[in-house]
Structure 1
Amino acid sequence: MKVYSTLFLSLFFLSSLSAQVEENTELFQTLRAKDSLLFNVGFNTCDISQFKALVSEDMEFYHDQSGITGSKADFIAGMENGLCKMEYKARRELVEGSLRVFPMNNNGNLYGAIQTGEHRFYAKYPEKEEVLTSTAKFTHLWLLEDGGWRLARVLSYDHEAVGK
């Protein structure tokens, strides 16, 4: 796992030397759509089928507050037993204009992409107004696997509680 993590971080920093793709490109639009499925459908409505479809089998998730999740199975279980069983409804919102996509090529062949951005998290308790609870940054490594895009690595960091 350390080798993949080191490789992922190295590739991320090296990718910052090249330009991100424009918002009107197919790659950007495809990964924006994947982000929407992951969060607007999966996270915001607790639709576990979205996570199952989008996440790579060897997915690794690094969170600055809750630690490391080392597999798809553990990630899905965490969603089912955490997010989907909270006393409030959680909602994630992408910060408009923050999404960036960097292609990953091997000898000119696209094999993946790094997606970065910022998001806000809200909580809606029964009988109460929805409130902004935190902001954070994310970095996703998407890989082309069996002809489809799968989320392989996640860095979720710089979580800040609102009002603190």
Structure 2
Amino acid sequence: MKELFDFFFKGDLFWKIVLLIWSLLSTLFVNAQVDRNSELFKTLKSKDSIIFERTFNKCELQKLDDIIDQDFEFYHDLGGIENREDFFKSVQKNICGNKNEKPIRKLVDNSIKVYPLTKNGKLYGAIQKGKHTFHIKKNNKLIPTGSALFTHVWILNNNIWKLKRVLSYNHLPVQN
């Protein structure tokens, strides 16, 4: 062990620099998020748009059916746990049930991050994280109500992306 210590800490400066550079570079490639211009990022951002812009904001509930996994679980820091069926009912009742005061979700610009999940070098899923704000649409005006963070676990099965798990947390009211 002493020889190893002497090699790294008493040896040539060149090897210390090589070791430092290697350490820094290797950490960049471990658990790195994908580039915003990558196919994976663009695909999952478009899925986010289907869930929230089309379903949450416009109440096109049929869009959820193809995107939500049969084994779906939703974990909400204020509302508890919901399975697929409960989630669909909740969206219909709580998000789309009152047309006079309609909840609207807005994605915070540049908040989405995507991390690929692989096994033996093959992509099988991804983690998508971001922040969004919520508003109530009343008399054609958007009134801010709060913000939250989200984490989605997407699974790629037969080249089809399905949302399997959702964490919705850190819900905060609007700060006045």
* Displacement of 1:145: 2.4
Instruction: Please tell me the residue identity of whatever aligns with 1:65.
Output: L
| Residues 3-46 of structure 1, C-alpha deviations (whole Å, 9 max, x = no match) | xxxxxxxxxxxxxx510000010000000100011101111011
- For structure 1, the residue ranges without an aligned partner over 5 or more in a row are 1-16
Following superposition, which runs of at least 4 residues in structure 1 exceed 3 angstroms of deviation? none
Q: Note the 1:39-54 alignment, pairs <5 A.
A: 39-54=52-67
SS at match of 2:44: helix
SS at match of 1:43: helix
Match of 2:152 among 140, 146, 163: 140
CA distance in 1, matches of 2:97, 2:149: 24
Whose RCO is larger (CA < 8 A, sep 6+)? Answer: 1
* Displacement of 1:80: 1.4
Other-structure match for 2:18: none
CA distance in 2, matches of 1:58, 1:49: 18
Other-structure match for 1:61: 74
Instruction: Please tell me the residue identity of whatever aligns with 1:156.
Output: S
Instruction: Please tell me the residue identity of whatever aligns with 2:52.
Output: F
- For structure 2, the residue ranges without an aligned partner over 5 or more in a row are 1-29
Instruction: Please tell me the residue identity of whatever aligns with 1:103.
Output: P
| Residues 38-86 of structure 1, C-alpha deviations (whole Å, 9 max, x = no match) | 10111101111111111001100000110110x2111111111221113
For the structure 1 residues 56 and 162, does the alpha-carbon distance in structure 2 shift closer, same or farther, using more than 3 Å as the test? same
Other-structure match for 2:142: 130
Say whether 1:78 aligns with 2:80. Answer: no
Other-structure match for 2:103: 90
Identity value in percent: 42
Other-structure match for 1:116: 129
CA distance in 1, matches of 2:120, 2:66: 28
Instruction: Please tell me the residue identity of whatever aligns with 2:39.
Output: E
Q: TM-score scaled to structure 1, two decimals?
A: 0.85
* Displacement of 1:128: 5.8
* Displacement of 1:108: 0.8
| More divergent stretch after superposition (81-90 vs 22-31) | 81-90
* Displacement of 1:146: 3.3
